Amino acid sequence: MRQQDLPHVFRRICRPGRRRGASMTQADDTTRDTVAAPPPVIAIDGPTASGKGTVAHGVARRLGWTVLDSGALYRLTALSALEQGIAPEDEAAVAEAARTLPVRFDGPHIYLDGREVGYDIRQERVGNFASRVAAFGSVRQALLDRQRAFRRAPGLVADGRDMGTVVFPDAALKVFLVADVEARAERRRKQLMEKGISANLEDLLRDMRERDARDTQRSVAPLAPAADAKVLDSSKMTAQETVQAILDLWNGPRGGALKPGAAGTAGKAKGFSGAAGNIAPR
Protein backbone atom coordinates (compact mmCIF):
# COMPACT_ATOMS: atom_id res chain seq x y z
CA MET A 1 0.00 0.00 0.00
CA ARG A 2 1.32 3.44 -0.89
CA GLN A 3 1.84 5.84 2.00
CA GLN A 4 -0.37 8.47 0.38
CA ASP A 5 -3.31 6.00 0.46
CA LEU A 6 -3.28 5.67 4.27
CA PRO A 7 -5.41 8.76 5.06
CA HIS A 8 -8.16 7.48 2.76
CA VAL A 9 -8.16 4.05 4.44
CA PHE A 10 -8.24 5.67 7.87
CA ARG A 11 -11.24 7.78 6.94
CA ARG A 12 -13.17 4.73 5.70
CA ILE A 13 -12.50 2.83 8.96
CA CYS A 14 -13.43 5.71 11.27
CA ARG A 15 -16.65 6.63 9.46
CA PRO A 16 -18.77 3.44 9.32
CA GLY A 17 -22.09 3.62 7.59
CA ARG A 18 -21.10 6.57 5.39
CA ARG A 19 -22.28 6.10 1.82
CA ARG A 20 -19.66 6.72 -0.85
CA GLY A 21 -19.90 10.38 -1.75
CA ALA A 22 -22.34 11.20 1.07
CA SER A 23 -21.83 14.41 2.97
CA MET A 24 -21.40 14.55 6.75
CA THR A 25 -24.96 15.87 7.15
CA GLN A 26 -26.43 13.08 5.00
CA ALA A 27 -24.58 10.42 6.99
CA ASP A 28 -25.69 11.87 10.32
CA ASP A 29 -29.31 12.02 9.13
CA THR A 30 -29.13 8.35 8.10
CA THR A 31 -27.87 7.40 11.57
CA ARG A 32 -30.62 9.38 13.27
CA ASP A 33 -33.32 7.82 11.10
CA THR A 34 -32.34 4.34 12.30
CA VAL A 35 -33.19 5.24 15.94
CA ALA A 36 -36.84 4.31 16.45
CA ALA A 37 -39.05 6.82 18.21
CA PRO A 38 -40.64 5.55 21.45
CA PRO A 39 -44.28 4.43 21.21
CA PRO A 40 -46.76 7.30 21.72
CA VAL A 41 -48.42 7.82 25.09
CA ILE A 42 -51.77 9.35 26.00
CA ALA A 43 -51.57 10.41 29.65
CA ILE A 44 -54.84 10.73 31.57
CA ASP A 45 -54.54 12.22 35.05
CA GLY A 46 -57.11 13.29 37.58
CA PRO A 47 -58.41 12.95 41.14
CA THR A 48 -60.07 9.93 42.70
CA ALA A 49 -63.17 8.67 40.87
CA SER A 50 -62.89 11.23 38.07
CA GLY A 51 -63.48 8.33 35.67
CA LYS A 52 -59.91 8.16 34.38
CA GLY A 53 -59.58 4.37 34.78
CA THR A 54 -62.77 3.52 32.89
CA VAL A 55 -61.99 6.13 30.25
CA ALA A 56 -58.37 5.00 29.83
CA HIS A 57 -59.49 1.43 29.18
CA GLY A 58 -62.08 2.68 26.69
CA VAL A 59 -59.55 4.78 24.78
CA ALA A 60 -57.00 1.96 24.77
CA ARG A 61 -59.58 -0.50 23.49
CA ARG A 62 -60.59 1.81 20.64
CA LEU A 63 -56.96 2.39 19.63
CA GLY A 64 -55.74 -1.16 20.24
CA TRP A 65 -53.11 0.09 22.68
CA THR A 66 -51.74 -1.11 26.01
CA VAL A 67 -53.26 0.43 29.15
CA LEU A 68 -51.55 1.28 32.44
CA ASP A 69 -53.60 1.64 35.62
CA SER A 70 -50.89 3.20 37.77
CA GLY A 71 -53.25 3.41 40.73
CA ALA A 72 -53.34 -0.38 40.81
CA LEU A 73 -49.60 -0.46 41.51
CA TYR A 74 -50.03 1.83 44.51
CA ARG A 75 -52.98 -0.21 45.73
CA LEU A 76 -50.96 -3.40 45.31
CA THR A 77 -48.18 -1.84 47.36
CA ALA A 78 -50.75 -0.87 49.99
CA LEU A 79 -52.27 -4.36 50.08
CA SER A 80 -48.84 -5.98 50.36
CA ALA A 81 -47.88 -3.62 53.19
CA LEU A 82 -51.16 -4.19 55.02
CA GLU A 83 -50.77 -7.95 54.80
CA GLN A 84 -47.23 -7.67 56.16
CA GLY A 85 -48.41 -5.55 59.07
CA ILE A 86 -46.49 -2.48 57.90
CA ALA A 87 -47.70 0.84 59.28
CA PRO A 88 -48.50 3.55 56.71
CA GLU A 89 -46.02 5.86 58.48
CA ASP A 90 -43.10 3.46 57.91
CA GLU A 91 -41.80 4.90 54.63
CA ALA A 92 -38.72 2.66 54.39
CA ALA A 93 -40.72 -0.54 54.84
CA VAL A 94 -43.44 0.53 52.40
CA ALA A 95 -40.82 1.51 49.81
CA GLU A 96 -39.19 -1.90 50.16
CA ALA A 97 -42.60 -3.54 49.65
CA ALA A 98 -42.99 -1.49 46.46
CA ARG A 99 -39.54 -2.47 45.16
CA THR A 100 -40.09 -6.19 45.75
CA LEU A 101 -43.75 -6.33 44.73
CA PRO A 102 -44.44 -9.85 43.30
CA VAL A 103 -47.10 -8.67 40.87
CA ARG A 104 -48.32 -9.96 37.51
CA PHE A 105 -50.87 -8.45 35.12
CA ASP A 106 -52.81 -10.76 32.82
CA GLY A 107 -55.41 -8.81 30.88
CA PRO A 108 -58.03 -7.63 33.37
CA HIS A 109 -56.63 -9.91 36.08
CA ILE A 110 -54.11 -8.73 38.67
CA TYR A 111 -52.04 -11.19 40.68
CA LEU A 112 -50.08 -10.55 43.86
CA ASP A 113 -47.73 -13.33 44.85
CA GLY A 114 -49.64 -15.73 42.59
CA ARG A 115 -53.21 -14.99 43.71
CA GLU A 116 -55.85 -12.86 42.00
CA VAL A 117 -56.39 -9.63 43.96
CA GLY A 118 -58.42 -7.44 41.61
CA TYR A 119 -61.28 -7.33 44.13
CA ASP A 120 -59.07 -6.89 47.21
CA ILE A 121 -57.21 -3.82 45.97
CA ARG A 122 -60.49 -1.97 45.35
CA GLN A 123 -61.45 -2.04 49.02
CA GLU A 124 -61.67 1.44 50.55
CA ARG A 125 -59.18 0.65 53.32
CA VAL A 126 -56.61 -0.30 50.69
CA GLY A 127 -57.34 2.86 48.71
CA ASN A 128 -56.95 5.05 51.78
CA PHE A 129 -53.65 3.36 52.67
CA ALA A 130 -52.44 3.79 49.09
CA SER A 131 -53.31 7.49 49.12
CA ARG A 132 -51.26 8.00 52.28
CA VAL A 133 -48.13 6.13 51.16
CA ALA A 134 -48.24 7.66 47.67
CA ALA A 135 -46.95 10.85 49.28
CA PHE A 136 -43.59 9.17 49.96
CA GLY A 137 -40.94 10.03 47.38
CA SER A 138 -39.15 6.70 47.86
CA VAL A 139 -42.35 4.78 47.13
CA ARG A 140 -43.03 6.76 43.97
CA GLN A 141 -39.43 6.26 42.82
CA ALA A 142 -39.66 2.51 43.47
CA LEU A 143 -42.68 2.25 41.16
CA LEU A 144 -41.41 4.61 38.45
CA ASP A 145 -39.55 2.05 36.31
CA ARG A 146 -42.42 -0.45 36.65
CA GLN A 147 -44.79 2.11 35.18
CA ARG A 148 -42.50 3.10 32.33
CA ALA A 149 -42.05 -0.56 31.39
CA PHE A 150 -45.67 -0.59 30.17
CA ARG A 151 -44.71 1.63 27.24
CA ARG A 152 -44.71 -0.59 24.18
CA ALA A 153 -45.87 -0.51 20.56
CA PRO A 154 -48.26 0.47 19.14
CA GLY A 155 -48.93 2.86 22.03
CA LEU A 156 -49.88 3.29 25.69
CA VAL A 157 -52.80 4.92 27.48
CA ALA A 158 -51.66 5.65 31.04
CA ASP A 159 -53.94 6.81 33.83
CA GLY A 160 -52.93 8.12 37.22
CA ARG A 161 -52.09 11.33 39.01
CA ASP A 162 -48.64 12.19 37.63
CA MET A 163 -48.56 10.44 34.26
CA GLY A 164 -48.19 13.66 32.27
CA THR A 165 -45.97 15.49 34.74
CA VAL A 166 -43.50 12.86 36.00
CA VAL A 167 -43.85 9.38 34.50
CA PHE A 168 -44.37 10.31 30.83
CA PRO A 169 -43.53 14.02 30.48
CA ASP A 170 -43.08 13.43 26.73
CA ALA A 171 -46.62 12.06 26.28
CA ALA A 172 -48.08 13.01 22.89
CA LEU A 173 -51.40 13.96 24.51
CA LYS A 174 -52.01 14.88 28.14
CA VAL A 175 -55.54 15.01 29.50
CA PHE A 176 -56.51 16.09 33.01
CA LEU A 177 -59.95 14.83 34.01
CA VAL A 178 -61.90 16.72 36.65
CA ALA A 179 -65.40 16.37 38.11
CA ASP A 180 -67.37 17.75 41.04
CA VAL A 181 -66.66 15.85 44.25
CA GLU A 182 -70.37 14.98 44.61
CA ALA A 183 -70.41 13.44 41.14
CA ARG A 184 -67.22 11.53 41.90
CA ALA A 185 -68.54 10.20 45.19
CA GLU A 186 -71.75 9.00 43.54
CA ARG A 187 -69.73 7.27 40.80
CA ARG A 188 -67.61 5.49 43.39
CA ARG A 189 -70.69 4.44 45.36
CA LYS A 190 -72.21 2.88 42.23
CA GLN A 191 -68.94 1.12 41.39
CA LEU A 192 -68.74 -0.38 44.86
CA MET A 193 -72.40 -1.38 44.91
CA GLU A 194 -72.01 -3.15 41.56
CA LYS A 195 -69.20 -5.18 43.11
CA GLY A 196 -71.32 -6.07 46.12
CA ILE A 197 -69.46 -3.72 48.44
CA SER A 198 -71.59 -1.59 50.77
CA ALA A 199 -70.83 2.13 50.66
CA ASN A 200 -72.11 5.20 52.48
CA LEU A 201 -72.21 8.35 50.37
CA GLU A 202 -71.28 10.70 53.23
CA ASP A 203 -68.29 8.53 54.15
CA LEU A 204 -67.18 8.51 50.52
CA LEU A 205 -67.47 12.29 50.31
CA ARG A 206 -65.36 12.72 53.44
CA ASP A 207 -62.74 10.24 52.22
CA MET A 208 -62.52 11.92 48.81
CA ARG A 209 -62.04 15.36 50.30
CA GLU A 210 -59.24 13.98 52.46
CA ARG A 211 -57.62 12.25 49.48
CA ASP A 212 -57.90 15.36 47.35
CA ALA A 213 -56.14 17.34 50.07
CA ARG A 214 -53.34 14.77 50.37
CA ASP A 215 -52.92 14.43 46.61
CA THR A 216 -52.81 18.15 45.85
CA GLN A 217 -50.73 19.21 48.85
CA ARG A 218 -48.01 16.54 48.94
CA SER A 219 -44.48 17.75 48.31
CA VAL A 220 -43.60 15.00 45.81
CA ALA A 221 -45.47 14.93 42.46
CA PRO A 222 -48.61 16.72 43.70
CA LEU A 223 -51.81 16.23 41.73
CA ALA A 224 -51.93 18.99 39.13
CA PRO A 225 -52.33 19.26 35.36
CA ALA A 226 -49.21 19.46 33.22
CA ALA A 227 -48.60 22.87 31.67
CA ASP A 228 -49.53 21.46 28.25
CA ALA A 229 -52.47 19.31 29.42
CA LYS A 230 -56.05 19.60 28.24
CA VAL A 231 -58.47 19.93 31.17
CA LEU A 232 -61.71 18.01 30.63
CA ASP A 233 -64.64 18.33 33.04
CA SER A 234 -66.53 15.03 33.00
CA SER A 235 -69.08 15.90 35.71
CA LYS A 236 -72.01 15.71 33.28
CA MET A 237 -70.51 13.35 30.72
CA THR A 238 -70.94 9.62 30.34
CA ALA A 239 -67.87 7.42 30.11
CA GLN A 240 -68.52 6.91 26.40
CA GLU A 241 -68.74 10.67 25.79
CA THR A 242 -65.49 11.23 27.66
CA VAL A 243 -63.74 8.51 25.65
CA GLN A 244 -64.93 10.08 22.42
CA ALA A 245 -63.83 13.55 23.54
CA ILE A 246 -60.29 12.26 24.15
CA LEU A 247 -60.26 10.42 20.82
CA ASP A 248 -61.34 13.67 19.14
CA LEU A 249 -58.38 15.39 20.77
CA TRP A 250 -56.05 12.62 19.65
CA ASN A 251 -57.30 12.59 16.07
CA GLY A 252 -57.35 16.37 15.81
CA PRO A 253 -54.46 18.84 15.96
CA ARG A 254 -52.37 18.20 19.08
CA GLY A 255 -53.19 20.78 21.71
CA GLY A 256 -56.22 22.04 19.80
CA ALA A 257 -59.71 22.43 21.11
CA LEU A 258 -62.35 19.74 21.02
CA LYS A 259 -64.15 19.37 17.74
CA PRO A 260 -67.41 21.37 17.48
CA GLY A 261 -70.30 19.52 19.07
CA ALA A 262 -68.15 17.28 21.27
CA ALA A 263 -69.46 16.82 24.79
CA GLY A 264 -67.68 18.48 27.69
CA THR A 265 -65.04 21.16 27.74
CA ALA A 266 -61.33 21.10 27.19
CA GLY A 267 -58.72 23.75 27.19
CA LYS A 268 -55.17 24.48 28.12
CA ALA A 269 -54.52 24.10 31.83
CA LYS A 270 -54.17 27.79 32.64
CA GLY A 271 -55.60 27.36 36.12
CA PHE A 272 -56.37 24.56 38.50
CA SER A 273 -58.23 24.57 41.79
CA GLY A 274 -56.93 21.78 43.98
CA ALA A 275 -58.90 22.69 47.08
CA ALA A 276 -60.08 19.62 48.94
CA GLY A 277 -63.46 18.51 47.72
CA ASN A 278 -63.64 20.85 44.74
CA ILE A 279 -61.17 19.88 42.06
CA ALA A 280 -62.29 21.68 38.92
CA PRO A 281 -60.86 23.88 36.18
CA ARG A 282 -60.93 27.59 36.84
**Residue ranges of the binding site for ATP:** 46-54
Q: What is the DSSP string of the chain?
A: --GGGHHHHHHHHHSTTPPTT--HHHHHHHHHHTSPPPPPEEEEE-STTSSHHHHHHHHHHHHT-EEEEHHHHHHHHHHHHHHTT--TT-HHHHHHHHHT--EEEETTEEEETTEE-TTGGGSHHHHHHHHHHTT-HHHHHHHHHHHHTT--TT-EEEEESSIIIII-TT-SEEEEEE--HHHHHHHHHHHHHHTT----HHHHHHHHHHHHHHHHH-SSS-S---TTPEEEE-TT--HHHHHHHHHHHHHS-TT-PPPTT-SS-EEE-S-EE--TT--EE-
Binding site listing: 46-54
